[in-house]
Chains A and B, each alone.
Chain A
């Protein structure tokens, strides 16, 4: 490219740099915090690459700040995202027009869907299987139980992390090869669209607020609820209750509507959305995230005591 300032010298991350990043990404959750989550660990992992790519101090400062932005995903699937980011940073160091928004967009856009792969695969499939295998051996006092669990898990984990980071790196290099077609601009824009979409889904799924106050108690008419006292004995009764429940009959003679039910009828997750918008508003007014976090804990305790939650 014309802007390549160093002309002949091209910055290149070799295998040992990439291995250093992969090893450091083992500690990506170390400074996990409620403000920007894995940002410290992400930056820690990127440091070997940043040192190599940006000898100029101003560039280095920019790079460090860029990689202290919000990040959170399953710790192992951070590896392919690191791979792509390494490729993007390499291009940037060589003069390509990869801006901060593009890099942050790629990170945010990939982290949600990949966490959606990592959580079910590692936490809910591989670990329960290996854990149950090890535990069944261990419960009879067999030392092989813990050893098999520990060794197998770490082989799978490290193999996955190294392989997917390399995969992300080569895929990322290919993306940046064709800069004339405006592919990067598309990626930036596409990534921020994907990012907004995914963050919205995360707000809906992961921010949890549950209002307890009851707004109405309605006495249901006979036949609209399961009459537990007059069910047949034993299995026949259970069968009848399940059938009645499946046909839409209520469990109790009174229907209790809480404030939460009413809000969810408007749109599920409304309270979570309002809370998120309120936090955005506070942050824009320079309220410290720490103050908001502590405030929410106090609010949670007070809300529980007065019966709001």
Chain B
């Protein structure tokens, strides 16, 4: 079926909402269950949208952004595959739902790269926030932050708008022709760039006194049975022991632990 002007506007709005929530992960507009239903609703294919949403949701149940790692993008997968379903005009038939799901998977991977690009674009945005903070201009910080959210919205809204005008089979063949070196290389790079954030924190916190705790943390983290909560408990215990010893040891911050002469001198 073909879409009229108002339907396209509404599709783009839903896509925008899904794109913003794709990064926020709060209201869950980006989850297929919600976004497929909404696209179905605005195009007059409510039932087909709900069924596709339910099917995709089952696939996406375990997709989550953990730490700095980016999960397959449920937002683009859900929005774009519903548009493809609606354009196909077959309604909620088993074949058309199946084809839409098949299209959704490469779209989820494509969306993953788009969100990585926007997350990189956000770096200069926070540098502009730094400059605004320097002037005490909090309104500018607010505007920049909102601007960054809008960019994440456009990340899904633009592909959705394009899809409304492009034949569905063209989209699919383009997605399948994405070279392996690009997608795999980007995934490898994504695994490494996380280190930059940690390096920034370490440069700020590291001092001679606390480096040993970094070493302990690194070594202990290799034991994969320890969850992050367990590691947190261990870290708290270490900190408490250190603080206790520091008080009773007498050589406060001097770094001379185990030097009996120094302890005696300090006691005088």
Q: Which of B144, B201, B206, B235 has the most CB of A within 10 A?
A: B201
Q: Which of A146-154, A163-171, A228-236 contacts B (4 or more CB under 8 A)?
A: A146-154
Does B175 have its Cβ within 8 Å of any Cβ on chain A? Answer: no
B180 to chain A, nearest CB (A): 8
A141 and B92 contact, CB distance less than 8 A = yes
A201: B residues at CB distance < 8 A: 217-218, 220-221, 228, 231
B41-97 residues at the A interface, CB under 8 angstroms: 46-47, 50-51, 53-55, 57-58, 60-62, 64-69, 92
With CB as the reference atom, state the residue of chain A lying closest to B147: A31
| Min CB gap B268→A, angstroms | 22
| Distance A115 CA – B48 CA, assembled complex (angstroms) | 37
A237-268 near B? 1/0 per residue, CB < 8 Å: 00000000000000000000000000000011
Task: Pick the interface stretch among B127-135, B154-162, B164-172.
Answer: B127-135
Tell whether A72 pairs with B67 under 8 Å between CB atoms, given A27-B145, A135-B57.
yes
Answer whether A302 and B185 are a contact pair too, CB < 8 Å, given A43-B129, A269-B222: yes
A88 at the interface (CB under 8 A from B): no
- Which of B133, B190, B197, B227 lies in contact with A61, CB distance below 8 A? B133
Q: Count B-side interface residues using an 8 Å CB cutoff.
A: 106
Q: List, in ascending order, chain B residues with CB within 8 A of A36's CB.
A: 126, 197, 200
Inter-chain contact A60/B192, CB cutoff 8 Å: no
Pick from A139, A197, A273, A299: contact of B235, CB under 8 Å: A197
Encoded as 1 (CB less than 8 Å from any A CB) or 0, chain B from 9 to 30 comes to 0000000000010011111100
A44 CA / B149 CA spacing, docked (Å): 12
- What CA separation (Å) do A161 and B246 show in the bound complex? 37
Residue from the list B61, B194, B203, B206 in contact with A128, Cβ < 8 A:
B61
Interface: A173 (CB within 8 A): no
- Binary per-residue interface labels of chain A (23-39) against chain B in the complex, 1 for a CB within 8 Å, 0 otherwise: 00011111111111101
Q: Which residue of B lies closest to A208 (CB)?
A: B191
Are B34 and A267 interface neighbours, CB within 8 A?
A: no
Known A-B contacts A135-B55, A141-B92, A194-B239; A304 and B145 likewise in contact (beta carbons under 8 Å): no
Task: Write the nearest CB–CB distance from B100 to chain A, whole angstroms.
Answer: 14
Chain B residues with Cβ below 8 Å from A145 are: 33, 50, 53-54
Is B198 at the interface (CB under 8 A from chain A)? yes
- In the assembled complex, the CB of B231 is this many whole angstroms from the nearest CB of chain A, namely 5
* B189 lies within 8 A of chain A by Cβ: yes
Interface locus among B103-111, B116-124, B257-265: B116-124
- Is A215 an interface position by the 8 A CB rule? no
Answer whether residue A175 sits at the interface, using C-beta atoms and an 8 A cutoff.
no
Alpha-carbon distance A145/B182, docked complex (angstroms)? 38
Q: Assuming A193-B213, A207-B191, is B198 touching A132 (CB within 8 A)?
A: no
Q: Does A69 contact B (CB under 8 A)?
A: yes
Q: Are B24 and A116 in contact (CB under 8 A)?
A: no
Question: Within 8 Å CB of A194, what residues of B?
Answer: 213, 232, 235-236, 238-239
Query: Is residue B163 within 8 Å, beta carbon to beta carbon, of the partner chain?
Result: no
A136 to B61, CA, bound (A): 12
Query: Which of A2-10, A11-19, A90-98, A104-112 lies on the face that meets chain B?
Result: A104-112
- 9 closest A-B pairs (Cβ-Cβ)? A116-B228, A113-B232, A138-B54, A300-B189, A301-B185, A200-B217, A123-B64, A31-B148, A33-B122
* Residues on B facing A (Cβ under 8 Å): 20, 23-28, 31, 33-34, 37, 46-47, 50-51, 53-55, 57-58, 60-62, 64-69, 92, 119-120, 122-126, 129-130, 132-136, 138, 141-142, 144-146, 148-149, 152, 181-182, 184-207, 210-211, 213-222, 227-229, 231-236, 238-240, 242-243, 246
What are 6 A-B interface contacts by the 8 Å CB criterion? A32-B23, A119-B228, A135-B54, A197-B239, A269-B218, A276-B195
